[in-house]
């Protein structure tokens, strides 16, 4: 589809309120659970805690760990800081890249809409930019759905493996004195498989969350695209009348 064909698809401005409301909802759903600030870089970048998988802004995580370390100095050996939500010890902190990209995309979309609303002369460029982002998000959505399907299959396989390993463990417990080394191996495999299952389910949940954000952003962009199409049609009618 060429630029002129795309230009004929522009939407009506009546959808602007719906799009703005949708973006506001997306921003609200991605605030830090502690300080309620939007988790955007650099000061409030989303930090993923391992192994529990909860996410908070960088500033709150830094403050939480610092307070914990100060308190621990007077209570014996320094222990890992616990997650502010579930209290599980934090083994590592990493930037939640997928969430940061999504928030950046939402803010970029919000900025684009604000500029388009303030400058009606930029309708065509705004529409083409939105169309490009739609295509990118559609591609990312399809890839995320494929990843989710793969995760579901792996989860089913690992859950089945867990069932089989538990059954084998029960049988081995009856003869544990004679087969202690084999029993220990099964216990190790069981722990590794359980951890893998937990990790896969967490990854699946991350993808599900990402899918929801992508679908919401895609919906907003499609609404914006339709707005530009109708605005173009309205402008054309006015020019024809003159």
pLDDT at 3: 44
Distances in Å between the Cα of 55 and the Cα atoms of 76, 81, 169 are 28, 15, 36
pLDDT at 6: 46
pLDDT at 110: 82
For residue 139, what pLDDT is reported? 87
> What is the domain partition of the chain in residue ranges?
3-11+98-241
H helix runs in 50-179, sequence order = 58-72, 97-118, 123-173
Instruction: Please tell me the predicted confidence (pLDDT) of residue 1.
Output: 47
Regions of the chain where pLDDT drops below 70: 1-17, 19-21, 74-77, 116-124, 176, 179, 183, 235-236, 238-242
Question: How many secondary structure helices (H) and strands (E) does the chain include?
Answer: 6, 3
**pLDDT of res. 76:** 62
So what's the pLDDT on residue 157? 93
Q: How many Cβ atoms sit within 10 Å of the Cβ of residue 64?
A: 18
């Amino acid at each position: 589809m060429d630029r002129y064909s795309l230009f004929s698809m522009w939407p009506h401005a009546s959808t602007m309120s719906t799009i703005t409301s949708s973006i506001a909802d997306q921003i609200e759903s991605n605030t830090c659970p502690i300080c309620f600030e939007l988790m955007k870089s650099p000061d409030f970048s989303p930090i993923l805690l391992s192994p529990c998988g909860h996410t908070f802004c960088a500033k709150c995580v830094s403050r939480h760990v610092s307070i914990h370390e100060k308190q621990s100095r007077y209570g014996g050996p320094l222990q890992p800081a616990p997650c502010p939500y579930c209290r599980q010890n934090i083994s590592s902190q990493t930037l939640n890249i997928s969430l940061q990209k999504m928030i950046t995309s939402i803010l970029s979309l919000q900025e684009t809409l604000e500029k388009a609303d303030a400058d009606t002369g930029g309708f065509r460029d705004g529409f083409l930019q939105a169309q490009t982002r739609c295509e990118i998000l559609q591609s990312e959505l399809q890839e995320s759905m494929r990843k989710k399907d793969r995760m579901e299959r792996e989860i089913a396989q690992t859950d089945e493996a867990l069932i089989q390993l538990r059954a084998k463990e029960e049988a081995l417990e009856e003869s544990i004195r004679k087969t202690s080394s084999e029993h220990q191996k099964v216990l190790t495999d069981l722990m590794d498989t359980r951890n893998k299952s937990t990790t896969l389910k967490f990854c699946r949940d991350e993808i599900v969350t990402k899918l929801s954000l992508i679908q919401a952003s895609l919906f907003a962009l499609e609404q914006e695209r339709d707005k530009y199409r109708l605005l173009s049609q309205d402008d054309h009618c006015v020019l024809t009348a003159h």
